[in-house]
Amino acid sequence: MSHNTFGHLFRVTTFGESHGPALGCVVDGCPPGIDLTEADIQPYLDKRRPGQSKYTTQRQEADQVRILSGTFEGKTTGTSIGLLIENTDQRSKDYGEIKDKYRPGHADYTYDAKYGFRDYRGGGRSSARETAMRVAAGAIARKILPPEIAIKAGLVRMGDKAVPDEVRDWDAVDQNPFFAPDAATAEEFAAYLDDIRKKGSSVGAVIEVVASGVPAGWGAPVYGKLDAELASAMMSINAVKGVEIGAGMGAAELTGEENADEMRFDDGKPVFTSNNNGGVLGGISTGQDVVVRFSVKPTSSILTPRATIDKDGNETEIVTKGRHDPCVGIRAVPIGEAMMACVLADQFLRHRGQCG
């Protein structure tokens, strides 16, 4: 991964700021002959799009994607695919206050420290708006993957409320505004987040992404490990502070007897009796579900004033009045799915390249 590009054979390069004229993306290395039109991408963008419930920012972004290249008569040609989303809702006036003050928990200070100045409108390049392009690229990645691979994701924790480990009702995900894989927990989330939202506060979340149907053998030693690339992909999403594969951080509390996933045959096919490894051993897929979880911190754009400094060397405080999400983790669900799809597509092509 290098600055604004990720992937090796399936490569995604993005550009665009929150309040600039447009966001864009180049998807390179896509196999030829795959059916692809805007209609294949738009539903995923719509899922990520804000303003769909009271639990996400009320900013209105149409997020209408155009394919500018790389397809012909509805099929990918094998050449680079250019994608573009024009920004339509650029209400810059909302952001006037942050021009000089550094918002705690945001990248304002670090961008200034690195570059000497920054595009302060809505966070500029550091805005989660960039993730629209990951979702678009992920939609293409899904079409590359063999059809038996299914990628599901859900919000499994919000603050101190969590979907129980043994419950993963993926059908429920699209039935509630939190993408929670459990209807009962979704109701808990609703009550909890209503309270957070009314207080002008925010809260963190954990997202779980599961890819089933991944064949054994994808991935690569040593620095191209499937789990290393998933870690990087998820950690690169805005506000993510932790990534787990399988047993994750909890693996530290297990003994070897508990952790070693035993093997048996089922109908002549190797199977595992547990999945502490999250579908990855030695950086290579086992054929089990690939299971990744990541945490998303609460946004610092809250109504309670926070102490900060300004560019001119004064101590001050700030209240972020923009239209923000009480739980940015919700919209991270489709982004996590997209990153899983992109990593798998790249590993698939690389595996096919090396091993035929």
- Contact assessment for residue 308 and residue 105, using Cβ atoms and an 8 Å cutoff: no
306 near a copy of itself, rule: CB under 8 A:
yes
By rule CB under 8 A, what string of x and - marks binding of each residue 215-254 to a copy of itself? xxxxxxxxxxx-xxxxxxxxxx-x-xxxxxxxxxxxxxxx
Figure out which of the listed residues 48, 163, 202, 330 binds a copy of itself, where binding follows CB under 8 A.
202
- Contact assessment for residue 324 and residue 202, using Cβ atoms and an 8 Å cutoff: yes
By rule CB under 8 A, what string of x and - marks binding of each residue 131-150 to a copy of itself? --------------------
What minimum distance in Å lies between the beta carbon of 41 and a copy of itself? 15
Residue 276 CA, distance from chain mean position: 23
185 near a copy of itself, rule: CB under 8 A:
no
312 near a copy of itself, rule: CB under 8 A:
no
By rule CB under 8 A, what string of x and - marks binding of each residue 26-65 to a copy of itself? x-xxxxxx--------------------------------
What minimum distance in Å lies between the beta carbon of 320 and a copy of itself? 9
Whole-number Cα distances in Å, 40 to 74, 262, 337 = 11, 40, 15
- Contact assessment for residue 298 and residue 311, using Cβ atoms and an 8 Å cutoff: no
> How far is Cα 290 from Cα 285, in angstroms, rounded to an integer?
7
Run of H or E including 47: helix 38-48
191 near a copy of itself, rule: CB under 8 A:
no
319 near a copy of itself, rule: CB under 8 A:
no
By rule CB under 8 A, what string of x and - marks binding of each residue 59-98 to a copy of itself? -------x-xxx-x--x-xxxxxx-x--------------
What minimum distance in Å lies between the beta carbon of 221 and a copy of itself? 5
To the nearest 10 degrees (0 to 180), the angle between helices 131-144 and 38-48 is 130
329 near a copy of itself, rule: CB under 8 A:
yes
Q: Which is nearer to a copy of itself, 171 or 288 (CB)?
A: 288
212 near a copy of itself, rule: CB under 8 A:
no
16 near a copy of itself, rule: CB under 8 A:
yes
Amino acid at 285: S
298 near a copy of itself, rule: CB under 8 A:
yes
**Cβ atoms within 10 Å, residue 316:** 13
> How far is Cα 281 from Cα 261, in angstroms, rounded to an integer?
10
Contacts of residue 239, defined as CB under 8 A and 6 or more positions apart, other chains included, come to 128, 296, 297, 299, 328, 329, 332
Part of the chain binding a copy of itself (CB under 8 A), chosen from 46-54, 146-154, 180-188, 274-282: 274-282
Q: Which is nearer to a copy of itself, 151 or 196 (CB)?
A: 196
In the region spanning residues 155 to 184, those forming contacts with a copy of itself, defined by CB under 8 A, are 157-160
> How far is Cα 209 from Cα 237, in angstroms, rounded to an integer?
14
282 near a copy of itself, rule: CB under 8 A:
yes
**Could you check whether the bond before residue 222 is cis, i.e. omega within 30 degrees of 0?**
yes
> How far is Cα 13 from Cα 6, in angstroms, rounded to an integer?
7
